[in-house]
Amino acid sequence: MFAETCSAWLELRNVGAVPAEIPRPAHVPERCDLAIVGGGIVGLAVARELIGRNPRASVCVLEREAEIASHQTSHNSGVIHAGVYYEPGSLKARLCVEGARELYAYCEQRGIAHERCGKVIVASDSSELGRLERLERLGTANGVPGLRRIDARGIEQLEPHARGIAGLHSPDTGIVDFAAVARSYAHDVREAGATVAAGCGVETVSAAGRSLRLGHTRGVIEAGHAVFCAGAWADRLAVRAGADPDPRIVPFRGAYLRLVPERRELVRSLIYPVPDPSLPFLGVHLTRHSDGEVLVGPTALMVGARDAYRVAKIRPHDLLDTLAWSGTWRMLARWWRTGVTELRHAALRSAFVAAAARYVPELRVDDVRPAFAGVRAQALARDGRLVEDFVFSHTERALHVRNAPSPAATSSLAIARRVADEAERAFALRH
Ligand SMILES: Cc1cc2nc3c(=O)[nH]c(=O)nc-3n(C[C@H](O)[C@H](O)[C@H](O)COP(=O)(O)OP(=O)(O)OC[C@H]3O[C@@H](n4cnc5c(N)ncnc54)[C@H](O)[C@@H]3O)c2cc1C
């Protein structure tokens, strides 16, 4: 029922090509019914969903950076995940499968470049077979379309340069530029009459009678309700709004290499290793992008700034937040060996390439050049657990997206629906 309403609304709002950039509004309103803090793919999807349901509401998206989608949304693998990895019944499992389906439909309607190119997960030796079987069970339980087991020959047929003893093929996994998707969401939001205000970092959150007062870098806005979708800064804003400090966001930098053009033929679509099931990261993979580039990565290194696009960047406040969190030390006690491996990958290009050469043996250090890095906003619980699932919570008059790591970009439309449902329940929204 909702899908029909949504697609009818999409058709009505079909505006064609994605604009290159979102113009900065001359002024930011002083009042609105709904404020969305954070102009990444999640915040913009939430704004779009809320205004679609409440067409008479005044909605304002406040984004700190000069451009929307400046952080995780534009620094990632660009993979539309199919839902293989996640515990059945978890939010990730449900929202990824639904979100991928909706995202493909959205991209088709809007003419956003994407490709359902499929992916192969490769088991390199017999020690990985049990984990591969587990992935097959999870993917099947989650309803991942077309997922099937393949043997060594099957791997080579799909990816002639990959080698392994067994694999999984997910034909429904695809690629897209998530920043282009976010720009399209922003366009929808503005077309529906809402404001998208960039250069507007929210600094204070306080109660003001029957509304929330948000102090930002360009003034103050009073909002009836707010949804915070601030990625790597989600915990700080939640605490300012009165929420529990647990979980805290700890930044994990993910650096990529890219294949030189003459070696791109080593990869047809997407090749992944079998990941360690106790970590929320998928391991160094090889991904073809919508622009033809082939990336190797990402690493997963805990860093000293929530925007550590350069590995050496340290922000004392961020570092202190990480070090003062008891969960950090509990996590390090458990995962120090993995931490050392990640350090090697970050420091030694040969070690990084060797991780991918396990399943594409022809890959050599000379085949790669440095590419970009992203910083994952990963929630870390006080007990040292890297929080796997998406986490949403609320305080008075506000909802908080507290953990939206991968596959949140894939799942953005389904997350938005879930947040809007929650907002209706918690705040009895009707505009
Ligand atoms: C290396 C890497 C690889 C990934 N690969 C994939 C993938 O292949 N597929 C997939 O589905 N997902 C992937 N992800 C995850 C995906 O990118 C994120 O889950 C998704 O982008 C989260 O979107 P977001 O809007 O929550 O966060 P962000 O894009 O980080 O947006 C948060 C926004 O909030 C703004 N903000 C913060 N504080 C304030 C404030 N005080 N006031 C106003 N605005 C504020 C920020 O400036 C930012 O624009 C990957 C992530 C990384 C880092």
pLDDT tens digit sequence for 158-172: 999 999 999 999 999
Return the pLDDT at 3. 35
Return the pLDDT at 14. 33
For a ligand 1 pocket test, name from 72, 216, 321, 352 the mutation site with the most ligand atoms within 8 angstroms of its C-beta: 72
Query: How far apart are the C-alpha atoms of 296 and 236, rounded to whole Å?
Result: 32
The closest-lying atom of ligand 1 relative to the alpha carbon of residue 373 is: 1
Q: Whose CA is nearest to atom 53 of ligand 1?
A: 376
Return the pLDDT at 21. 54
Return the pLDDT at 413. 98
Ligand 1 lined by 174 (C-beta under 6 Å): no
Return the pLDDT at 347. 79
* 204 three-state secondary structure: strand
Q: Which residues are 222's β-sheet partners?
A: 31, 213
Q: Where are the alpha helices (DSSP H) in 218-325?
A: 234-240, 316-323
Return the pLDDT at 2. 32
Ligand 1 lined by 74 (C-beta under 6 Å): no
The closest-lying atom of ligand 1 relative to the alpha carbon of residue 70 is: 49
Q: How far is the CA of 219 from the centre of ligand 1 (A)?
A: 25
Ligand 1 lined by 171 (C-beta under 6 Å): no
Strands (DSSP E) contained in 9-152 are 31-37, 59-62, 79-80, 114-115, 119-123, 148-151
The closest-lying atom of ligand 1 relative to the alpha carbon of residue 78 is: 8
**Burial grade of 349 (CB within 10 A; 0-12, 13-18, 19 or more):** middle
pTM for the model: 0.94
- The stretches in the chain having pLDDT less than 70 are 1-26, 429-431
Q: How far is the CA of 161 from the centre of ligand 1 (A)?
A: 32
Instruction: Give the other-Cβ count within 10 Å of 284's Cβ.
Output: 24
Residue with tokens 């900065």: 24
Return the pLDDT at 430. 61
Ligand 1 lined by 99 (C-beta under 6 Å): no
Ligand 1 lined by 412 (C-beta under 6 Å): no
Q: How far is the CA of 278 from the centre of ligand 1 (A)?
A: 22
Query: How far apart are the C-alpha atoms of 182 and 411, rounded to whole Å?
Result: 12
In this structure, what DSSP letter does residue 386 have? B
